[in-house]
């Protein structure tokens, strides 16, 4: 197929692009490179530097490359920043998607795969969270993603848009060969921060809150390997191509790990001591987020290849040791 991948030079997007390109699809990437890295893209993939919210660019790409589906990763994803600068998130994560939707409608491109998030659920009423859990986001990041989910349903009803939204939990790891990986500026994700502290690139890692209602007082999250997320996006597209219904799916392993457990696992993988500083809670952080991904297993045929924590961290460690960008 001819695919347009927005945000395809970013962390998760680049792993998806590599996967689909390896399967013979023709991939065009639209990325403004604010957080993405051109170096992460494989040979033969066309990178167009531009913004998703530019209707002229979107429509030109859809027509010129005979695009058959759009896979949308382009979004800002710093929860704390979304609390202090909400307009940035509503504009980029929600409003900028509208011109793309309208361009797709004009060009009769009907398939859309959306990178959503477990942050649409907010504070869990029960764990693990399934797709029936109420969606009450507690930060603008989660809310901006929820608004896109609702917009997809509206466009589906109005114009026949076919869509899948994937609500994944904590993406982690890197390509197994260490060729591409996680590289944010600033970096806020726990595993790379811990590994960089193990390498001495950071003086210490801060634990934000040790008084949550969890077994050791620190936040619990469900970590899923980035390549497993890439495969899920591909399976979602296959579902639509085969005539399957639109819908939303959780992606996770079903196992939660606390912040302290992650730090300990990073010490075990690296064989190095990681200095820790206890800090205050961050705004917008729920105590525990763990997925039920039974629906994805059943309807998409998706199963995570990485089920244990140490192998996920091992790929991230390989990237940190030999990172290219």
> Which of the residues are catalytic?
141
3-state SS, the chain, equals CEEEEECCCCHHHHHHHHHHHHCCCEEEEEECCCCCCHHHCCCCCEEEECCCCCHHHHHHHHHHCCCCEEEECCCCCCHHHHHHCHHHHHHHHHHCHHHHHHHHHHHCCCEEEEEEEHHHCECCCCCCECCCCCCECCCHHHHHHHHHHHHHHHHHHHHCCEEEEEEECEEECCCCCCCCCCCCCCCCCHHHHHHHHHCCCCCCEEEECCCCCCCCCCCEECEEEHHHHHHHHHHHHHHHHCCCCCEEEEECCCCCEEHHHHHHHHHHHHCCCCCEEEECCCCCCCCEECECCHHHHHHHCCCCCCCCHHHHHHHHHHHHHHCCC
């Amino acid at each position: 197929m001819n695919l347009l991948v927005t945000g395809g030079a970013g962390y998760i997007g680049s792993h998806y692009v590599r996967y689909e390109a390896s399967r013979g699809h023709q991939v065009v990437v639209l990325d403004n490179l604010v957080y993405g890295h051109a170096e992460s893209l494989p040979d033969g993939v066309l990178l167009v530097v531009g913004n998703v919210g530019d209707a002229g660019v979107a429509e030109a790409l859809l027509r010129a490359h005979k695009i058959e589906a759009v896979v949308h990763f382009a979004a800002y994803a710093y929860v704390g920043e979304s609390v202090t600068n909400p307009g940035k998130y509503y504009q980029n994560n929600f409003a900028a998607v509208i011109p793309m939707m309208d361009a797709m409608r004009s060009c009769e491109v009907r398939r859309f795969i959306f990178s959503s998030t477990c942050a649409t659920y907010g504070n869990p009423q029960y764990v693990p969270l399934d797709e029936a859990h109420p969606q009450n986001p507690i930060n603008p990041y989660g809310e901006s993603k929820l608004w896109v989910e609702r917009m997809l349903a509206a466009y589906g009803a109005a114009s026949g848009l076919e869509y899948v939204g994937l609500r994944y939990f904590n993406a982690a790891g890197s390509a197994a060969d260490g060729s591409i990986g996680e590289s944010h500026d600033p970096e806020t994700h726990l595993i790379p921060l811990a590994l960089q502290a193990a390498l001495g690139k950071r003086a210490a890692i801060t634990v934000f809150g040790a008084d949550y209602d969890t077994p050791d007082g620190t936040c619990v999250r469900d970590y899923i390997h980035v390549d497993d997320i890439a495969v899920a996006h591909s399976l979602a597209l296959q579902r639509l191509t085969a005539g399957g219904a639109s819908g939303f799916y959780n992606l996770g392993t079903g196992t939660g790990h606390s912040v302290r457990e992650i730090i300990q696992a990073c010490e075990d993988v690296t064989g190095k001591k990681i200095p820790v500083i206890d800090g205050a809670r961050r705004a917008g952080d729920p105590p525990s987020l763990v997925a039920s991904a039974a629906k994805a297993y059943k309807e998409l045929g998706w199963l995570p290849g990485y089920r244990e924590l140490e192998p996920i961290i091992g790929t991230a460690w390989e990237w940190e040791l030999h990172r290219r960008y």
